[in-house]
Amino acid sequence: MSGPSDPSPARESRRGRRRAGWGRNGAPPVSEDELIAITDAAAEADTIDDAERDMIASALALDRTVVREVMAPRADMVTADADMTVTAALEIAIGRGLSRLPVCRNDIDDIVGVALLKDLARTERSGGGDRAVRDSMRRAMFVPETKRVDELLLEMRTAGGHLAVVVDEYGGTAGLVTLEDLVEELVGEIVDEFDRPEPLLEPLAGGEALVHGRMPVDQLNALVGAALPDDDWDTVGGLIFSTLGHVPEVGETVEVDGLRLRVEHMEGRRITRVRLTRT
């Protein structure tokens, strides 16, 4: 008779399969591609709807998505100076429809805290509108741009944080990411009363399109059926910068994978609008 010190062949077989990655029920592991194929088949059979299929695919991709891909870049950040008055910072937050403002001491690479709209409003209502923002700010959360989205989502849920400052490999500010940004990776765009929708892609007559410079290359590829490279960059603007090798001027074009990308508008050194034409 087999005892605890003499495992049965069947038990050893189950253990071996689990060590090899098999499930507890003895079934072989299912790859991500197989899961996606299953969900696609379920959607085609109307067992689940398209939104549910997309959510499952997004959840599977979370462990491959890094913060750099979902953050708001530093050029889009709105900050408050630590010496600014509470009233001035409150006006910025309200004017831009923001509930949180990163607080800088010297420049954007020296973020020392985060000011919450509710804290600023409370301080002003109590007669402290002339006080410096640094007296009302909270501790900032810093994360590397290579951190995985699923890990950060768990940390934010655990710590109760809603905003993190993203830093690059040199310790400088790369951008910021909010809890809403992370949740949107799962459920899609969340629009509230403060959002001012700005389309990343706007179809034009004749098959052309206007594309925002910060549109992710992989998203554009999926929408237009292209295979634009995304080697050392994430956005259309980054692709153009890398291809040209210099800061472009309005009117410059690049041709990649059967697409012509023409710079239509810039803000400073940022590409904000690109005309896309098939060649």
What is the DSSP secondary structure assignment for residue 167, as one 8-state letter?
Answer: E
- The set of long-range contacts for 241-245, using a CB threshold of 8 Å and a minimum separation of 24, is 241/271
Residue 212 CB: number of other CB atoms within 10 A? 19
Distance separating alpha carbons of residues 271 and 244, to the nearest angstrom: 13
Whether 132 maps to a domain, the answer reads: yes
In the chain, the number of structural domains is 2
Q: Write down the pLDDT at residue 56.
A: 57
> Where are the extended beta strands (E) located within 172-246?
173-178, 201-203, 209-211
| Beta bridge mates, 210 | 202, 275
**134, 164, 189 — which closes off a domain?**
189
**138, 166, 189 — which closes off a domain?**
189
For the chain, give percent helix, strand, coil, nearest 5: 40, 25, 40
Q: With beta carbons less than 8 A apart as the criterion, state whether 129 and 142 touch.
A: no
Write the CATH number for 205.
Answer: 3.30.465.10
Clarify whether residues 76 and 147 are in a common domain.
Answer: yes
Distance separating alpha carbons of residues 237 and 214, to the nearest angstrom: 6
Distance of alpha carbon 250 from the chain centroid: 27
Task: Report the amino acid identity of residue 69.
Answer: E
**166, 189, 212 — which closes off a domain?**
189
pTM exceeds cut of 0.85: no
pLDDT in tens, the chain (279 residues): 444 444 444 444 444 443 444 444 454 554 445 555 555 565 566 665 665 556 555 555 556 688 888 898 898 899 999 999 999 999 999 998 899 999 999 899 999 999 999 999 999 999 999 999 999 999 999 999 999 888 898 888 888 888 999 999 999 999 999 988 887 766 555 555 555 556 788 888 888 999 998 888 888 888 888 889 877 788 899 899 999 989 899 999 999 988 999 999 988 788 989 999 988
Distance separating alpha carbons of residues 112 and 145, to the nearest angstrom: 18
Write the CATH number for 135.
Answer: 3.10.580.10
Domain that holds residue 235: 201-278
N- to C-terminal Cα distance for the chain? 76
Q: Write down the pLDDT at residue 251.
A: 94
